Amino acid sequence: MRIAYLAPEFPGQTHTWMWREKLHLEEFGLDVRMVSTRPPIDRDRARHAWAEGAKAATTYLWPMPATQILAAMLALLTVRLPALLACVALCRRIQRDRGPSTLDSLKLLPSAYRFASWIRHTGIQHVHVATPSRSLITTLLARQINPSFTVDCTVNANFEWWGGGLNAKFAEIDALFVIVGWMEAQARRDFAQDITSKMHLAKLGVDTREWPERTPPTPPDPLRVVTVGRLHPSKGHDDLIRAVAALREQDRDITLTLLGEGPQRQELEQLAASLGMGDAAEFTGSVPEHEVRERLEASHVFVGASHAEPLGVVYIEAMALGVPTIGTDAAGPKEIIVDGESGLLVPPKDPEALARAIASIHDDPQLATRLGRAGRERIIEHYDSRIGARVVHDAIVAIPRP
């Protein structure tokens, strides 16, 4: 079965889970072709070893030459006028469901026409859409033009983050995937039964074959704290910097490494400098996956201080390696980490609680060892990436073909 995997602005620095899922779907027997709305901007592009090859193998729907845009619109206005009217009706339904305006959605028509033509020529039978954003609207418009394929969509972050129109969008798809239990519960509360009846829980994770248990580093001198994520206010990096700075004021020998890039970098660097962190705070920028793994393997503690995290694959990566992990008691991390058993949880936006949790691991090597081992066991049992990918595969192949 040949399917398209549509990921917006692929490959981005946070898209490793998409690439893992794509490889697993192929492992399970599907022929998967990568498609993306457009290439990512340089700041956000993935630096992972797989990224350049993935980009070369990806079909991009935008940008389009002006001649192709004109040809697509002329075709829709003439020989494909019924499809154009169906597209307009779809965009109106999305707008009425508090989604983007009809005009904004119709601006996606050239990309949708290009996608529909590519699907026809490539023999695609199904499109797996990684997010319920404009990429899903593009796909649904493409199906009005070429109704030969089925569609599913994964919701990988809070429902309210996707610009509205979800009832109208989800009514059009054949399967819906959510990545975490709290999201499944919210969907069953907020969406009609005709939508939730086609919903599946497909947890994200890591391939534990590729992320084996590490050999723990030597005793913490200094204690190496690592975090991974976009440098964005929602990630709580400022809270973590304050926590580590407070511990250093207690004459604890602790360093902090922040792996990732984003719009808050300059502000965070200035904060670290103002707190006297100096060389104790390292900002690496976006780094390839192998370096993320190497940095985690060499760390004593992983900390994710997010204010709101739908799931948090970086927690799973750290725990898979056996790194003692601290997260915030918010949404996704609360499902991954069993507090006191497979990691530690603290309230969001609480640097003092973060400092106490880090200190507890610093002061108790036996606690660190126990949390690391239990964390890996939990990931193997519940968050190996093959588990969620199998759910996606089985649901896709069970959809009746048009």
Q: What share of the chain is helix, strand, coil (3-state, %, to 5)?
A: 50, 15, 35
Return phi, psi of residue 343, to 5°: 165, -175
367 and 260 both lie in a single domain: yes
Residue 267 shares a structural domain with residue 313: yes
Q: Do 33 and 124 fall into the same domain?
A: yes
Both structure tokens of 110 = 């050239």
d(CA 58, CA 366) in angstroms, rounded, equals 47
Would residue 211 count as lying in a domain? no
Distance CA 137, CA 290 (A): 34
Residue 212 included in any domain: no
Q: Which residues of the chain have pLDDT under 50?
A: none
Helix axes 81-96, 134-145, angle to 10 degrees: 150
CA distance 225 to 217: 12
Q: Does residue 218 sit within a domain?
A: no
Tokens of 41: 């901007």
Count how many domains the chain has: 2
Q: The domain spanning residue 262 has which CATH number?
A: 3.40.50.2000
Q: Are residues 233 and 286 in the same domain?
A: yes
| Residue 308: predicted pLDDT | 84
DSSP 150: E
Please check whether residues 165 and 237 belong to one and the same domain.
no
Residue 314 placed within a domain: yes
- Reported residue count of the chain is 402
d(CA 123, CA 367): 54
Instruction: Give the per-residue pLDDT at 55.
Output: 97
Same domain, 17 and 120: yes
Closest C-alpha among 299, 286, 376 to residue 337: 376
Q: Is 215 within the bounds of a domain?
A: no
Task: Tell me which residue range forms the domain holding 189.
Answer: 2-205+385-398
Tell whether 159 and 11 lie within a shared domain: yes
Q: Are residues 78 and 102 in the same domain?
A: yes
What confidence tens digit (pLDDT) does each residue in 111-120 have?
Answer: 999 999 999 9
Give the pLDDT score at 13.
86
Residue 236 lies in a domain: yes
CA 200, 318, 47: angle at the middle one, nearest 5?
A: 85
How do residues 203-228 score in pLDDT, each as one tens digit? 999 999 999 999 988 877 799 999 99
Based on the domain organization, do 246 and 355 belong to the same domain? Answer: yes
If asked whether residues 161 and 236 sit together in one domain, one would say no
> Does 193 lie in the same domain as 277?
no
Q: Residue 213 has what pLDDT?
A: 95
Residue 217 lies in a domain: no
- Residue 168 sits in the same domain as residue 234: no
